[in-house]
Structure 1
Amino acid sequence: MPTIGWIFLLGAIGMVVGSLLLLRDSAKSMHIPEEKKERIRQRQKELEREEEKD
């Protein structure tokens, strides 16, 4: 493969890895209010009860 091909390949891999690291870092800093967490838990329990009935 010509040198320019390797450069493009390394650049593409670098962009993918960099964006994944950025996504991981931004996910850690995202805080969900406790009220919303409680609603999520309640909804999950409701769905589990509905699944048990079926």
Structure 2
Amino acid sequence: MSITGIIIILLCLGMIVGGILLLKKSAKKFNLTEQQLKDIKARNQALEKEEQQEK
């Protein structure tokens, strides 16, 4: 393999790894209040109940 081919492969790998690291660094966790968690759980239960009724 030629030097230019190796350089191109290394650049591509560097871009992929850099993109993954950037996504990992910029990811944020959700800080939800107790009321929001309660609403989410209630909505999920309602959706599960609807799905079971459709079957």
Q: Point out the more displaced range, 31-40 or 7-16.
A: 31-40
In the other structure, the counterpart of 2:19 is 19
CA RMSD of aligned residues (A): 2.0
- Displacement, 1:49? 1.7
Q: Say how many residue pairs are matched.
A: 53
TM (norm. structure 1) is: 0.65
Q: Structure 1 stretches of 5 or more lacking a match?
A: none
Instruction: Decide which structure has the larger Cα Rg and report it.
Output: 2
Per-residue CA distance 1:27-50 (angstroms, 9 max, x = gap): 1x3545436555443332222222
- The TM-score, its normalising length taken from structure 2, stands at 0.64
Identity of aligned residues (%): 36
2:49 maps to what in 1?
49
* Structure 2: runs of 5 or more not aligned: none
